[in-house]
Amino acid sequence: MTSYLRPLSLVYGPDARQAVAAGRGGALGGSAFIAFTQAEIIERRGGRIARHVISYAEAREHHPLLDLIERKRPDFAGLAMDRPKLMGIVNVTPDSFSDGGLLADRDQAIAHGVRLAAEGADILDIGGESTRPGSDAVPASRELERILPVIGALAGQGHCVSVDTRKAAVMTAAVAAGADIINDVSALGFEPASLATAARLGRPVVLMHARGDPKTMQDNPAYDDVALDVFDMLAGRIARCEAAGIARQHIAIDPGIGFGKTFAHNLALLSQLTLFHGLGAVLLVGLSRKAFTGALTGEKRAGDRVFGSVGGAVQAALNGAQILRVHDVRATRQALTVALAGADPEGSGL
């Protein structure tokens, strides 16, 4: 039997701090302004799943995941995880789903990264290979040709840069050019050398869940229970990373909304985000402009999904996500500033 713990009944700001101080609640993902006062115990044995709700006090008595949920998250790539951080997307590709071709020129990509940083991006995520549904892989040499000048320029200006890649050779060259974070949609599983390479490079990593390869991942994806299956896969990858020498404090996890999931799967993940704090790692959520948001809002064009994307980012932040990967930095930062001020008027803001 496998047991999971999903925090429920969230409270914010002064209410959260009072609940934690009185022993009536726990810090969600180590947060100083979000607490949970109940939890759902989920027990899976084979194909059978049982669920029941308990108080925080009951969870504290006997559930092994509670410590991982409440543990304060240390700085990630030098960034404090006490408030949500924004990861701005810079796709240096001709075929990305939202902005393919717009930033294929290196000077345009560099200028876009500078603009996102000015709008409030804490991290600039540079990618040279599209992983949209149906996309083909590109050679590492082409990926490097696209991204290295952009990484070098933005890192050279003092920005925190992550490299969005599945390939060990690209990870190595990107870190040499100044990348601070490795963001891998395959959770370091695409190439046999990726795990050892990431461990050797010593940079924080983002492990994302994806079902299958981008070329085929949307071909009838199926799960027994999507949230629990994604949790189990990420738990297994964290264990592999730790065995290879990558400490949990240097790992962020991403449930992979839109990667091998149906609309119903994506909605289930968004509504059960608190489950993933049980992995004891920084939680990153990326749903910006994805078809999932378009299905909810009726916006067929990716570039018109700003408002739905911002709504999803706020929802994720209020469920404890520490990093939000977004296209629209300015809009997201403004919305989060208001939402977090309302949730925690005594706090320090975004």
Residues with catalytic function: 290, 325
Contacts with 324 (C-beta within 8 Å, 6 or more apart), sequence order: 84, 85, 86, 87, 284, 285, 286, 313, 316, 317, 332, 336
C-alpha–C-alpha distance, residues 43 and 46, integer Å? 10
DSSP 168-206: HHHHHHHHHHT--EEEETTTT-SSTTHHHHHHHHT--EE
C-alpha–C-alpha distance, residues 205 and 37, integer Å? 31
CA angle, corner 193, sides to 192 and 197, nearest 5? 150
Contacts with 27 (C-beta within 8 Å, 6 or more apart), sequence order: 16, 20, 34, 35, 70, 72
> Which residue reads 């990967």 in tokens?
325
Contacts with 185 (C-beta within 8 Å, 6 or more apart), sequence order: 131, 164, 166, 208, 210, 214, 256, 259
Contacts with 222 (C-beta within 8 Å, 6 or more apart), sequence order: none
User: Which structure tokens are listed for 213?
Assistant: 């390869």
User: Which structure tokens are listed for 187?
Assistant: 């959770």
- CA proximity to 318, closest of 335, 343, 297: 343
> Which residue reads 């706090």 in tokens?
347
